[in-house]
Amino acid sequence: MIRILEQSIADKIAAGEVITGPVAVVKELVENAIDAGATAITVEIKAGGKEYIRVTDNGSGIPSGEVELAFQKHATGKIVTEEDLANIGTLGFRGEALGSIATVSDLEMVTRTAEETVGTRLYLKAGEVAEKKAIGCEVGTTVTVMHLFYNTPARLKFLRTDRGEGALVFDFLSKAAIAYPHIRMQVVRDGKVLFHTKGNGDGLQAILAVYGGALKGKLIPVEAENADGSLALRAYIADPMESRPTRKMQIFFVNGRLVHDRTMEEAVAAAYKGRLFAGRYPVVFLFLETTPDKLDVNIHPSKDRIRFYDSETIGSFIAGTLEKGLLTEDAVPELHLGAKVALTKDATSPVTKPPATRPADDAVSAAPQRADEPAKKDSYAVQDNAPSAADSEQVDIKTLLSEMRKKDRAESAHAIAETPVSLDRPFDFRRLTPKGIFFDTYIAAADEDAVYLIDQHAAHERVLYEQIRRAFREKEGESQLRLTPETFDLPPGAEDILPPLEKLGFSLEEFGPSTYLVRAVPLSMAGLDIKAFLLDFAEGYTGGDIASEELRDRIATMACKAAVKGHDRLTEEEVLRLLQDLADCDNPFSCPHGRPTFLRMTKGELERNFKRA
């Protein structure tokens, strides 16, 4: 039942003008359809939404007697009391979207409830009811918003191009589609289907329907719930090889609501820490469910910002779950033979390097790509998926349906079962049998169903890094005296590194104008190349508390780098030792600088390449 909110409650709702353009209209209409319990929603836009936006749903509909009421300010069927406001379970609750949209457009609503035999058509011009009549229609609601902002030229002027506005709409709808895999969502732009989901509840399938095949086989499904059941996370996370230069492919939902949230961003960063280069971001889709009392959604009128009351608990729940997912077997990067390689990772310029191809002999790479796939884009620019605005104006329903059927068939041909990985099946290096060493650098190994190439330097770095970090914790401040002290020349102007070094456990004695004797070293670094470390430290230390986690990370990274020598040929014993040490690491998958420690090629992959399968 729609009614006008009491003034005292209306006053408590974050106020503001939210209808800023086509995407805002689409968002409000789609949210209304979802709130109305729709299981199928079709969105059509023309000219980026400027000409018209039509949202059709098969939800509850609105009874004839309440249709006008829905357009009044603070008219909502969703909350009544202040208590309801604290336990919002619907996407809408402010009761002003329909009214605001109607004032800046010509709007038609056609709607019918299941109880009625005949539906209602309401037509409003600039917010004023121009016509109301009975009409035959399906149960559900169709809202058509025409000529948005025609009566507010100032706002019209600030709209983007058709293509630009269309891209924003597509971006929103793609997220809505993956948030609601139980809803069959269809998106039509200028007469062409951009995508459609099946509505069968398969979250992974919805993601692939929207973002296409580029992510196929790259997402690790993860699921977890906390002890009292107040937090549940479903996530699809890409292995670190699939990183992006921006956070655009980090998509978060909380209780079905698309949000941008710092707590969640930080949790993702924490989980991937040490697995990615600086400036690279992982691809993750997070679906968090919480009891409504855990968060405040009423802090911004656009409703896409939230505040967790206990962000620490929620952050560590998310980070912990993702970390476990990243340590499962599914997270081991796959290796593809005969691949054209997109050169997206480079230690010196990880962000700016354009994709390039390498010859096939270099195919063993950190960024594998199947040769038969189209060139992989680093981000999913909306324009690439969307047809140009100049495309056919007419909606040819026959072509449209046949296109959809074709797509359906293609999809079911390689349907993917959504089986969350078991979080207690971590990858174990102890299972591997070493088979030899290539180029004095790569250890070949195998288990029952895959072969592996392990970069011995990256692996060694990872092992040392974790050992040093551990020693920092366990042997805090302990030093080892040097029987034959080395000398160390302090670079000019680097005196400020002396106090932090002393805190770390170094004992340095002045020996000449800028020369020091290293009398003692921290126990955690006893076996390392101290001179190399000191030089790195002198160059890399830019101040900061030596006890901080961040600085300790950097110190451990420097220290282990200083320890890894060039092409040492390892003995069989040393190889076994290295695998054993890797197995003991918290994160054996990449070196501290983010390079992978090993690659895997499954038996199936080999069979495909040898055309046995």
Give the nearest distance from C-beta 389 to Mg ion in angstroms.
28
Instruction: List, in order, residues 6 or more apart from 259 with CB less than 8 Å away.
Output: 252, 253, 304, 305, 306
57 binds, among ligand ADP, Mg ion, none (CB under 5 to 8 A by kind): ligand ADP
Task: Indicate the DSSP class of residue 306.
Answer: -
- Of residues 35 and 106, the one with the C-beta less far from ligand ADP: 35
- Of residues 98 and 535, the one with the C-beta less far from ligand ADP: 98
Residue nearest to Mg ion (CB): 92
From the list 29-37, 171-179, 190-198, 282-290, the region that binds Mg ion by CB under 5 A is 29-37
Report how far residue 504's alpha carbon sits from residue 489's, in angstroms, rounded to the nearest whole number. 19
CB 461 within 8 A of CB 592: yes
Give the nearest distance from C-beta 33 to Mg ion in angstroms.
9
Give the nearest distance from C-beta 21 to ligand ADP in angstroms.
17
**Which residues on adjacent β-strands are paired with residue 187?**
43, 195
22 binds, among ligand ADP, Mg ion, none (CB under 5 to 8 A by kind): none
Q: Between the CA of residue 379 and those of 198, 281, 420, 511, what are the distances in Å?
A: 24, 11, 25, 55
**Closest by CA position to 71, among listed 104, 38, 42:** 104
**Closest by CA position to 238, among listed 272, 205, 270:** 272
36 binds, among ligand ADP, Mg ion, none (CB under 5 to 8 A by kind): ligand ADP
CB 139 within 8 A of CB 114: yes
Q: Between the CA of residue 587 and those of 548, 550, 579, 594, what are the distances in Å?
A: 21, 17, 13, 11
- Of residues 88 and 490, the one with the C-beta less far from ligand ADP: 88
Give the nearest distance from C-beta 32 to ligand ADP in angstroms.
3
- Of residues 59 and 92, the one with the C-beta less far from Mg ion: 92
- Of residues 60 and 205, the one with the C-beta less far from Mg ion: 60
590 binds, among ligand ADP, Mg ion, none (CB under 5 to 8 A by kind): none
Residue 97 touches Mg ion, criterion: CB under 5 A: yes
- Of residues 32 and 186, the one with the C-beta less far from ligand ADP: 32
Give the nearest distance from C-beta 89 to ligand ADP in angstroms.
12
467 binds, among ligand ADP, Mg ion, none (CB under 5 to 8 A by kind): none
Identify the burial level of 483 via C-beta atoms within 10 angstroms of its C-beta, where 0-12 means exposed, 13-18 middle and 19 or more buried: exposed
Q: Residue 240 in 3-state DSSP?
A: helix
Report the interface residues with ligand ADP, using CB under 6 A: 2, 28, 32-33, 36, 57, 59-62, 70, 75-78, 92-99, 141
Residue 67 touches Mg ion, criterion: CB under 5 A: no
- Of residues 92 and 315, the one with the C-beta less far from ligand ADP: 92
β-pair type (52-57, 40-46): antiparallel
49 binds, among ligand ADP, Mg ion, none (CB under 5 to 8 A by kind): none
- Of residues 93 and 285, the one with the C-beta less far from ligand ADP: 93
CB 259 within 8 A of CB 224: no
From the list 25-33, 322-330, 351-359, 532-540, the region that binds Mg ion by CB under 5 A is 25-33
93 binds, among Mg ion, ligand ADP, none (CB under 5 to 8 A by kind): ligand ADP
Residue 588 touches Mg ion, criterion: CB under 5 A: no
Residue nearest to ligand ADP (CB): 92
- Among residues 21, 22, 48, 92, the one that binds Mg ion under rule CB under 5 A: 92
Report how far residue 342's alpha carbon sits from residue 368's, in angstroms, rounded to the nearest whole number. 7
Task: Indicate the DSSP class of residue 426.
Answer: B
- Among residues 32, 186, 205, 344, the one that binds Mg ion under rule CB under 5 A: 32
324 binds, among ligand ADP, Mg ion, none (CB under 5 to 8 A by kind): none
Q: Between the CA of residue 139 and those of 66, 113, 120, 145, 323, what are the distances in Å?
A: 15, 5, 11, 20, 46
Q: Specify the length of the chain in residues.
A: 613
3-state helix, strand, coil in the chain (%, to 5): 35, 25, 40
Identify the burial level of 269 via C-beta atoms within 10 angstroms of its C-beta, where 0-12 means exposed, 13-18 middle and 19 or more buried: middle
- Of residues 93 and 472, the one with the C-beta less far from ligand ADP: 93
Question: Residue type for 458, please?
Answer: A
Residue 107 touches Mg ion, criterion: CB under 5 A: no
CB 241 within 8 A of CB 335: no
77 binds, among Mg ion, ligand ADP, none (CB under 5 to 8 A by kind): ligand ADP
Give the nearest distance from C-beta 252 to Mg ion in angstroms.
21
- Of residues 62 and 339, the one with the C-beta less far from ligand ADP: 62
- Of residues 77 and 588, the one with the C-beta less far from ligand ADP: 77
Footprint of Mg ion (CB under 5 A): 32, 92, 97
